[in-house]
Amino acid sequence: MTIGMIGVESAMGNSEKASGPVILAVAGKGGVGKTSISATMVRLLTEAHPDSNILAIDADPAVGLATALGIDVETTIDDIRKDVAEGVEALGLNSAVEVRNEVRYRLFDALVEVDGFSFIAIGRPETAGCYCKVNSYLKEVISILAENFDYVVIDGEAGIEQINRRVMEKVTHMILITDGSARGTKVVRTVRDVADELVMYERIGVIVNRIPSMEMTRYLDLGDIEVLSVIPSDDNLADFDIRGENVFYLPSDSAVVEGTRTALKNFDII
């Protein structure tokens, strides 16, 4: 396990910072606090960069990021996908360019604009089965939307499916979240290995969350992944989670806020 300021470069050789938006993709095992940290990142970005365009994408079908940010979702990416797919003939769209333009129009119309940032959710398909179609569509959505924003935070679904399907094919920063469990750290290492083959990224690091004691960090098996911060258990956040409160109202000295701030500083983002 390495702790420091130096990021781990992608196996795909992205050593130079590309121009364009800063895209932070958040991944990890379910139940490790991924969504709360994603929401806190959005909050900290709005505070640090008040004049920038910031987008939060809830790429988890569970739609937890909306709750953490205090947002009511009316239209999702999957709603748009279905509407466009069903309405191509009725709309008289005759080319891929026309379809893309229609999607672009509907996406921007569906964005929820709140103080300091914009938001959109992938949604939950009504039919049972995998999320293959909407995940494939989400990759295009990220490409369409990201170019219009300075910072994009993507709260990915738990596990590695979206990495495997190259939903987050090109991002600038991958932020992996784990707790102190062996399962959590194993998922993080797996995500890193898969991302090295399938994702173009500039830097990658891990936030270790919900640690009862700093003594436990000596047992974490994270290989050579940079540790961005270690966050102790946070009673404030636990209370907010139970009540479904907006993380923007968490005290600034809460463990999750301080720990996420440290992580973003270690990535030179704030």
Per-residue pLDDT of 170-222, as tens digits, reads 899 999 999 999 999 999 999 999 999 999 999 999 999 999 888 778 889 99
Would the pLDDT of 1 be above 50?
no
CA dihedral sign of residues 90, 95, 101, 106? positive
Please tell me the predicted confidence (pLDDT) of residue 89. Answer: 63
More confident residue, 95 or 218: 218
Please tell me the predicted confidence (pLDDT) of residue 132. Answer: 56
What residues does 164 pair with on adjacent strands?
none
Taking every pair of Cα atoms in the chain, the longest distance, rounded to a whole number of angstroms, is: 63
SS3 category, 207: strand
Total domains present in the chain = 1
Return d(Cα 17, Cα 9) in angstroms, integer.
Answer: 11
Looking at residue 197, its amino acid is: E
SS3 category, 193: helix
pTM value is 0.86
Per-residue pLDDT of 50-61, as tens digits, reads 999 999 999 988
Lowest mean per-residue pLDDT among 79-83, 142-146, 245-249, 252-256: 79-83
Looking at residue 29, its amino acid is: K
Which of 79-93, 159-173, 214-228 reaches the highest mean pLDDT?
Answer: 214-228
User: What percentage of the chain has pLDDT greater than the value 90?
Assistant: 55
For residue 257, what pLDDT band results from cuts at 50, 70 and 90?
very high
Looking at residue 7, its amino acid is: G
Would the pLDDT of 167 be above 80?
no
Rg of the chain over Cα atoms, rounded to whole angstroms, equals 18
Distances (CA, A) of 225 to 6, 113, 190, 232, 262: 10, 35, 11, 19, 16
pLDDT (average), residues 239-248: 90
Give the start-end residues of each E strand in the chain: 2-3, 22-28, 54-59, 112-114, 117-121, 151-156, 173-178, 203-211, 226-232
More confident residue, 202 or 161: 202
Residues in the chain: 270
For residue 2, what pLDDT band results from cuts at 50, 70 and 90?
very low
What residues does 260 pair with on adjacent strands?
none
CATH (domain of 131): 3.40.50.300
Tokens of 65: 């990021």
Q: In sequence order, which residues have a C-beta less than 8 Å from that of residue 13 and are 6 or more positions away?
A: none
Please tell me the predicted confidence (pLDDT) of residue 101. Answer: 80
Structural domain for 9, as ranges: 2-266
Please tell me the predicted confidence (pLDDT) of residue 164. Answer: 64
> How do beta strands 151-156 and 22-28 pair?
parallel
